[in-house]
Structure 1
Amino acid sequence: MEVTIDSNSGYCFGVEFAIQMAEDEMLDGNTLYCLGDIVHNDMEVKRLHNKGLRIISRDDLSRITNCKVLIRAHGEPPETYQTALNNNIELIDASCPVVLKLQNRVKNAYDAMREKKGQIVIYGQPGHAEVIGLTGQTGGEAIIILKDEDLDKIDFTRSVTLFSQTTKSTKGFYRIKALIEERLHASNHHLQTIEFNANDSICRQVSNREPQLQKFSKEQDVIIFVSSKKSSNGKALYSVCKAENERSYFIANEDEIQTEWFDNAQKVGICGATSTPMWLMKNVSDAIKNIGESCVTS
């Protein structure tokens, strides 16, 4: 049985950068606090916990003082920086450059739209850390949409500027864009003054993985997708695999592998989310190879 790890899977630049910063800070055995899970993968969080990384909440941040806190790749709203200043907290800012650039774009667009009484709309997952950071650039006034029914939150008689969470599906973004255009036209077909600016702010390092995964999935008899169940990116990318290869299976680690998945399989592909560490995919690969060897010798 041939087992192949997808070379395009694993950490995106932002996550890899944040983890490297955390490990550098803990080289001397010092404890480092991190505001929220550094990555949406329980196995990696556990590994870094053993090195001294401690996860805290925003409520915790308001209570601690005189320490170091890592800001993960997702970025943070302005109030986080103010809290750190008030509590004499040194921030180790590992915000992804792509996210920081988007935060700046959202802030500038919000300032411009306020003068026109327009609306900032963000296509993203409510409560997601990145979305919280983006909404913070608008003083909490941005409208978050994910499902079709969320469009009812928008006032279609006022101008709209649309952005996307960086890790959302490109296909999903352009579908939402088209729906907003339809609703705006239906509400204002006799008006020429309603503006609609749609900004495709999806990270291409993430979005390009969809066509790459489609190709990879077609080439394999079985796909093992490795990701934490809490990763929204993982769920989205797994659905891409499943659409191309019915024999696709979602696991968190090698303990969840079932031997019967590989019946009559010659080629097995392993892939993962942008939050899946390469060491974890290698563990899965080794476990599957052991299954293949036991089948041959039995």
Structure 2
Amino acid sequence: MNVTIDKNSGYCFGVEFAIQMAEDELASQPTLYCLGDIVHNRMEVERLHQQGLRIIDRDQLQTLHDCKVLIRAHGEPPETYALALRNNLELIDASCPVVLKLQNRVKHAFDSTTRQNGQVVIYGQPGHAEVTGLNGQTGNQSIIVMSEADLDQIDFARPVTLFSQTTKSTAGFYHMKALIEQRIAAAGGSLESFDANDSICRQVSNREPALRKFAVDYDVVLFVSGRKSSNGKALFSVVNQTNPRSYFIENEQELDEAWLQGAATVGICGATSTPMWLMQRVADRVNEVAESLPA
């Protein structure tokens, strides 16, 4: 059985940068706090926990004083920085540059469109850390949409400025854009008052066509990702549409041997939050199983 790991899968720059910052800090101190999972991958979180990284939530952050806290790649709203000043917290800011740029764009758009009685709409997952940070740039007054039903929150007689969470599906964003255009037309409004911004990270969007090419070359594809990863869900959908013999797994222990029956080639790929060492573990497990399968 031929087993291949997709060389283009694995960490994006932002995640890699955040993990490197965490490891650099932990090299000189026993414990470092991180606000939320540093990456949406349970296996990597557990690995870094063994090195001293302690995940905290927003309630726990309120109680901390005089220590270091890592801000992960997803970014944070302004109130997190204000709290850090009050509690004398040293922030190790690993916010992704792409996310920081988008935060600035959202804030500028909100300040501008508010003067025109407009609305900022964010295509993203409610409660996701990045979306929370983006919403914070608007004083939590943006409209978060994920489905067509969510569009009912928008007043289509007023100007609309649309952005996207950086890790969402490109196809999903343009589908939402088209739906908004239809609603504006139905309300008798003008499309000139609609400003749609494709703010999806190119490292993410470029992986979609690359994964389609990868998935079609193998009998079976194993997509490795944490189940909480928004990016993982979006990219697996692309893979599964291309190759129906695709399976979403979090680690090598979830591999079902029956999936490999009759397969001569197996491709292994993952999300922007999937470490390469974890995909290698899955490959090693596939090779072990292959040796026990009948020729």
TM-score, reference length from structure 2: 0.98
Amino acid in structure 2 at the alignment position of 1:262: L
Tell me how far apart the structure 2 counterparts of residues 173 and 129 of structure 1 sit (CA, whole Å).
Answer: 19
Q: 2:184–2:191: 8 Å Cα contact kept in structure 1?
A: no
Q: 2:167 aligned with 1:167, yes or no?
A: yes
Q: Which residue of 1 aligns with 2:153?
A: 153
Q: Which residue of 2 aligns with 1:46?
A: 46
Q: 1:265 aligns with which of 257, 263, 266?
A: 263
Return the offset for 1:82. Answer: 0.2
Return the offset for 1:295. Answer: 2.9
Q: 1:210–1:237: 8 Å Cα contact kept in structure 2?
A: yes
Amino acid in structure 2 at the alignment position of 1:254: E
Q: 2:216 aligns with which of 215, 218, 234?
A: 218
Tell me how far apart the structure 2 counterparts of residues 255 and 244 of structure 1 sit (CA, whole Å).
Answer: 25
Return the offset for 1:29. Answer: 3.9
Q: How does 1:101-250 map to 2 (within 5 A)?
A: 101-189=101-189, 195-250=193-248
Q: 2:24 aligned with 1:24, yes or no?
A: yes
Return the offset for 1:127. Answer: 0.4
Out of 17-26 and 245-254, give the one that drifted further: 245-254
Return the offset for 1:194. Answer: 6.1
Tell me how far apart the structure 1 counterparts of residues 275 and 144 of structure 2 sit (CA, whole Å).
Answer: 30
Deviations 1:164-206 (A, max 9, x none): 00001111111111111111122125xx596111111000100
Q: 1:122–1:163: 8 Å Cα contact kept in structure 2?
A: yes
Q: Which residue of 2 aligns with 1:7?
A: 7
Tell me how far apart the structure 1 counterparts of residues 8 and 201 of structure 2 sit (CA, whole Å).
Answer: 15
Tell me how far apart the structure 1 counterparts of residues 170 and 237 of structure 2 sit (CA, whole Å).
Answer: 14
Out of 96-105 and 258-267, give the one that drifted further: 258-267
Count of aligned residue pairs for this structure pair: 295
Q: 2:278 aligned with 1:280, yes or no?
A: yes
Q: Which residue of 1 aligns with 2:94?
A: 94
SS at match of 1:17: helix
Return the offset for 1:264. Answer: 1.3
Tell me how far apart the structure 2 counterparts of residues 194 and 225 of structure 1 sit (CA, whole Å).
Answer: 41
Amino acid in structure 1 at the alignment position of 2:139: G
Q: 1:234–1:274: 8 Å Cα contact kept in structure 2?
A: yes
Identity %: 67
Deviations 1:243-297 (A, max 9, x none): 111111111111111111111111100011111100000000011111122336x
Q: 2:185–2:191: 8 Å Cα contact kept in structure 1?
A: no
Out of 112-121 and 237-246, give the one that drifted further: 237-246
Tell me how far apart the structure 2 counterparts of residues 193 and 223 of structure 1 sit (CA, whole Å).
Answer: 42
Q: Which 5+ residue runs of structure 1 have no aligned equivalent?
A: none
Tell me how far apart the structure 2 counterparts of residues 193 and 117 of structure 1 sit (CA, whole Å).
Answer: 16
Tell me how far apart the structure 2 counterparts of residues 259 and 193 of structure 1 sit (CA, whole Å).
Answer: 53
Q: 1:226–1:252: 8 Å Cα contact kept in structure 2?
A: yes
Q: 1:29–1:51: 8 Å Cα contact kept in structure 2?
A: no
Deviations 1:123-168 (A, max 9, x none): 0000000000000000000000000000100001100110000001
Q: Which residue of 2 aligns with 1:290?
A: 288
Tell me how far apart the structure 2 counterparts of residues 258 and 285 of structure 1 sit (CA, whole Å).
Answer: 13
Tell me how far apart the structure 2 counterparts of residues 294 and 194 of structure 1 sit (CA, whole Å).
Answer: 63
Q: 1:124–1:168: 8 Å Cα contact kept in structure 2?
A: yes
Q: 2:25 aligned with 1:37, yes or no?
A: no
Q: 1:210–1:240: 8 Å Cα contact kept in structure 2?
A: yes
SS at match of 2:21: helix
Deviant stretches of 4+, over 3 Å: none
TM-score, reference length from structure 1: 0.97
Amino acid in structure 1 at the alignment position of 2:107: K
Q: 1:3–1:267: 8 Å Cα contact kept in structure 2?
A: yes
